[in-house]
Structure 1
Amino acid sequence: MHKLRHTLFPVFFFAIVFADGQSFDSLSNAIDSIVFDAIGAEAFPGCVIYASQGDSVFFLKSYGYHTYDSLRRVAVNDIYDLASVTKVVGGTLAMMKLYEESKFNLDDPIGDYIDKIGRKVGRVTFREALAHQGGLYPWIPYHQESRRKNGKFRKKTVTNEVDEDYSFALTDSLYLHSDFYSRIKKMIRKSKVSEEKEYRYSGLFFYLIPELVENLTDTSYQDYLNAHFYDPLEAETLSFNPLDKFSLSQIVPTEIDTFFRMEPIHGKVHDEGAIMMKGISGNAGLFSNASDLARVFHMLINEGKMDTLQLLKPQTIQLFTTTQYPNNDNRRGLGFDKPLLAYDSIRSSVAKDASYKSYGHTGYTGTLSWADPESELIFIFLSNRVYPSRTYRSLYQLNVRPTIHQLFYDYLKTNFTEKSDPVGKVK
């Protein structure tokens, strides 16, 4: 297998040298039109689009600017906040490796492995939690726990002055208490759990994964992911708290926060729960450029291999990317999202032609990563659709991502059915 490192040439280089001229030009022009219309409708100020089939990267292009002030153009190697894509390239990857190491059984209750999580939450099994079938509450605004009704900060939550116990900077003037995670667990423990086992999307379990990893391996969640996945894949930008490694200019701003941090969110995780976990969670927190994010999905559709390394077993990937509760009107795999059980052009985030074996995840900030083992198509879409505000929803209303995704399937039907020469090698 070829290494998953490749040079970040503009897509126009590929078109001139390798592509099937008119056919590729038609694809590129169609995508240009969709994206320019979306930027004009303020669906997002800019984006990066990546597509590959097997070892062939046939589309990699950036559009627009970091923000609507049009000061800094988006580059193909710019770093975006992945939001809930973290669930699959962070939390779920860790769970897959723990499963292979026989650290837990999928039908064990999570309360057997995580202390102080309560009877109701604790009886939900790993399979149910990962497939969003356990009745867990969808979302908790953890940051609200930091303030009293009068607006003042509670003890051991947040303060305006840095010291030994408040060392993690939420902003330049807000600092988080070192043990705020215990409050997060308390809120999860006290949350309502539905008695009916039906599909309900929830991120609550994914906030617990870092503790689970540390309990089972004596290794931090971040180090565990680095050692087993990101370092072998050479996915340098795929990381938490990217300002520890990269300059602010390489990172695309996310949102102008008007209700908690009260400043532009830039270089720190957008998700309020993840920032209250010091930027590191299984629910959100990862940042990446498109090419490094694609490395994970190349490894997955290549049955867990990277060069001579076997990072995951093929049967583990098949298990986690298979729908677990189709008879309960639940399309989800274990951690991974899947195509709708019955295609709906309004509700779907992916192309109509995405096979039932395909999998991936969307992110609240306007991101999407999707892999299809049948066609070997990997599609990455990175944007900051929540800039300047999460109220901007044109990305969904215009069906930008599924429409572009379908264009790639249409292109592959005419250009790669006979395994024609690749337009750019994944190196």
Structure 2
Amino acid sequence: MKTAIYILLSLFLVTLRGQEDSSVDTIQIPEDALISVHPADMGLDPSSLHTKVDSIITKGIKEEAFPGAVVLVAVKGKIIFEEAYGYHTYDSIQRTAADDIFDLASVTKIAGPLPAIMKLVGEGKLDLDAPFSTYWKRWQNRKDKKNITLREILAHQAGLEPYIIFLNEVLKKNGKPKRRFVRAEPNNRFQYRAYDGLYVKDRFDRKMYRMIDRSKVAQEKKYRYSGLTFLVFPELIEQMTGDSYEYYLQKNFYLPIGAPTLGFRPSTKGFSNKIVPTEEDSIFRHTLTQGWVHDENASLLGGVSGNAGLFSTARDLAKMMQMYLQYGIYNGKRYLSGDTVREFIKVQYPENDNRRGLGFDKPLLGNDTLALEDAYPAPEVSPKSFGHSGFTGTFVWADPKNQMVYIFLSNRVYPSRDHRNLYELHIRSAVQQVFYQALERKITQAPAYGSETISPGRQ
């Protein structure tokens, strides 16, 4: 019944048209949604692509960078590569499938609150250069925060603290949860579900806001990544739109573009897709975390947050990135102002050695001059490209110049977040590089990651 209602809502909302915009887009906009084609149809050698990607992914699995992964690449609105590798866990029981649902971690930032903020900016309801306290009233009496602009916040140029571990407020010294914040059963004051048998006090978000209010701000304005305001963006979006944060995103973006798995709390949606597990949590949930957000701060908000909490299949996430790549248009409909998207994907403070756009990550400054092991992401990406990474092992990137969308989903935090070979082996950038070199007809030998390969679907 729940799935049927969700599908009916999808069919209704998919008829809604995005906002109209008269700006002229400079790339060719496909009339249709993303579709799969054979790589040869795009002039690419499928055998070469698979050999190189399989080798890199196989090396990652053998080195326990992740137990499984999904890679999707679209060029000019056509999916040329969509493959699943490995298993959900190292016990090799549940094979990874291309339509598995992954915990996106910080990719949530650009696929959750950011499109809503972009829409509000495009509608003139938010001003990037006005003090954020104009809208987030709590900061009007905070001397160190009242003049910080939304532009500075989104470009990580505001000097805000990177992170606050709110779990420290919830757990006793012996590791057990404090009953004033966490209960084993829900009631009218404890409805935020952090996991099975863990319900957080409804007003714990207010405690978060107070701690963020009191957090320090660096005096020097320079690049300093911070996720704090992404915890308050959902509340701001609800105040400004009158809709719940989750519903606003579903109504205006996820369901109209045909991405039903892109959302929060997938365990409550009744999807037939398998949900990939993340970490064997020994601190808070004391079990394998699966179907509920891995990030502890987002879990204390019931799994619906702006810093983390989104789940998706690779294909549904690719639709969102394709919409960005096409400056707000997808499948013939406009969802965001083209001028707004262009502003958000642009480097904001290059004079301060800050590579960031507004919410979006960007290539390292001078990235094209670096070797693969020093670059971020692949050296071949264009300066116009943008994306974001996620703590669980996820990565998304879009390149308007080359009209490429790249999705890499994995659960590198299984069984523990201490597994860091995904970074040490530069796997995500190495896979991305394969497709750039193929498009450039540079069929040179990729970096040696091992001679054995695992064919997709036959692990």
TM-score normalised by L of structure 1: 0.91
Which deviates more from structure 2 when the two are superposed, residues 318-327 or residues 245-254?
A: 245-254
Matched, 1:207 2:236: no
Corresponding residue SS for 2:396: strand
Q: Which residue of 2 aligns with 1:354?
A: 381
Matched, 1:232 2:259: no
Aligned equivalents of 1:45 and 1:150: distance in 2?
32
Matched, 1:4 2:33: yes
User: Letter of the aligned partner of 1:264 in structure 2?
Assistant: L
Deviation at 1:151, TM superposition (A): 5.0
Q: Which residue of 1 aligns with 2:419?
A: 392
Structure 2 gaps, min length 5: 1-29, 443-459
Aligned equivalents of 1:176 and 1:290: distance in 2?
30
Aligned equivalents of 1:276 and 1:122: distance in 2?
27
Q: Which residue of 1 aligns with 2:52?
A: 30
Matched, 1:95 2:117: yes
Q: Which of 303, 309, 312 does residue 279 from structure 1 map onto? A: 303
- Count of aligned positions: 409
Which deviates more from structure 2 when the two are superposed, residues 63-72 or residues 339-348?
A: 339-348
User: Letter of the aligned partner of 1:361 in structure 2?
Assistant: H
Q: Which residue of 2 aligns with 1:77?
A: 99
Aligned equivalents of 1:346 and 1:188: distance in 2?
36
Deviation at 1:205, TM superposition (A): 1.0
Let me know the Cα RMSD of the aligned residues: 2.0
User: Letter of the aligned partner of 1:234 in structure 2?
Assistant: G
Q: Which residue of 1 aligns with 2:319?
A: 295
Deviation at 1:247, TM superposition (A): 4.5
Deviations 1:402-424 (A, max 9, x none): 11111100111129xxxxxxxxx
Q: Which residue of 1 aligns with 2:205?
A: 181
Matched-pair contact (CA < 8 Å) for 2:71–2:409: yes
Aligned equivalents of 1:277 and 1:327: distance in 2?
37
Deviations 1:303-351 (A, max 9, x none): 2112332111211111000000000010000000000002244353411
Matched, 1:159 2:183: yes
User: Letter of the aligned partner of 1:87 in structure 2?
Assistant: K
Matched, 1:269 2:296: no
Aligned equivalents of 1:307 and 1:247: distance in 2?
24
Matched-pair contact (CA < 8 Å) for 2:155–2:359: yes
CA gap of 1:274–1:387, structure 2 versus 1, over 3 A, is: same
Q: Which residue of 1 aligns with 2:21?
A: none
User: Letter of the aligned partner of 2:91 in structure 1?
Assistant: D
Matched-pair contact (CA < 8 Å) for 1:336–1:361: yes
Q: Which residue of 2 aligns with 1:373?
A: 400
CA gap of 1:196–1:207, structure 2 versus 1, over 3 A, is: same
Matched-pair contact (CA < 8 Å) for 2:355–2:364: yes
Corresponding residue SS for 1:50: strand
Matched, 1:195 2:219: yes
Q: Which of 51, 54, 57 does residue 73 from structure 2 map onto? A: 51
Aligned equivalents of 2:31 and 2:396: distance in 1?
21
Q: Which residue of 2 aligns with 1:104?
A: 126
CA gap of 1:341–1:232, structure 2 versus 1, over 3 A, is: same
User: Letter of the aligned partner of 2:257 in structure 1?
Assistant: L
Q: Which residue of 1 aligns with 2:457?
A: none
Aligned equivalents of 2:54 and 2:73: distance in 1?
14
Q: Which residue of 2 aligns with 1:425?
A: none
Aligned equivalents of 2:46 and 2:272: distance in 1?
34
CA gap of 1:171–1:226, structure 2 versus 1, over 3 A, is: closer
Matched, 1:168 2:197: no
User: Letter of the aligned partner of 2:432 in structure 1?
Assistant: H
Aligned equivalents of 2:284 and 2:218: distance in 1?
29
Structure 1 gaps, min length 5: 8-12, 416-427
Matched-pair contact (CA < 8 Å) for 1:43–1:394: yes
Q: Which residue of 1 aligns with 2:448?
A: none
Aligned equivalents of 1:19 and 1:189: distance in 2?
52
Aligned equivalents of 2:156 and 2:84: distance in 1?
34
Aligned equivalents of 2:32 and 2:269: distance in 1?
23
Deviation at 1:79, TM superposition (A): 0.5
Corresponding residue SS for 2:112: helix
Aligned equivalents of 1:89 and 1:133: distance in 2?
21
Aligned equivalents of 1:5 and 1:374: distance in 2?
18
TM-score normalised by L of structure 2: 0.85
Matched, 1:133 2:157: yes
Deviation at 1:20, TM superposition (A): 5.5
Deviation at 1:171, TM superposition (A): 2.6
Matched-pair contact (CA < 8 Å) for 1:336–1:359: yes
User: Letter of the aligned partner of 1:4 in structure 2?
Assistant: A
Q: Tell me which stretches of 4 or more aligned residues in structure 1 moved more than 3 Å.
A: 17-21, 148-156, 246-249, 344-349
Aligned equivalents of 2:89 and 2:349: distance in 1?
41
CA gap of 1:19–1:98, structure 2 versus 1, over 3 A, is: closer
Aligned equivalents of 1:255 and 1:307: distance in 2?
36
Deviations 1:41-61 (A, max 9, x none): 000000000001112211110
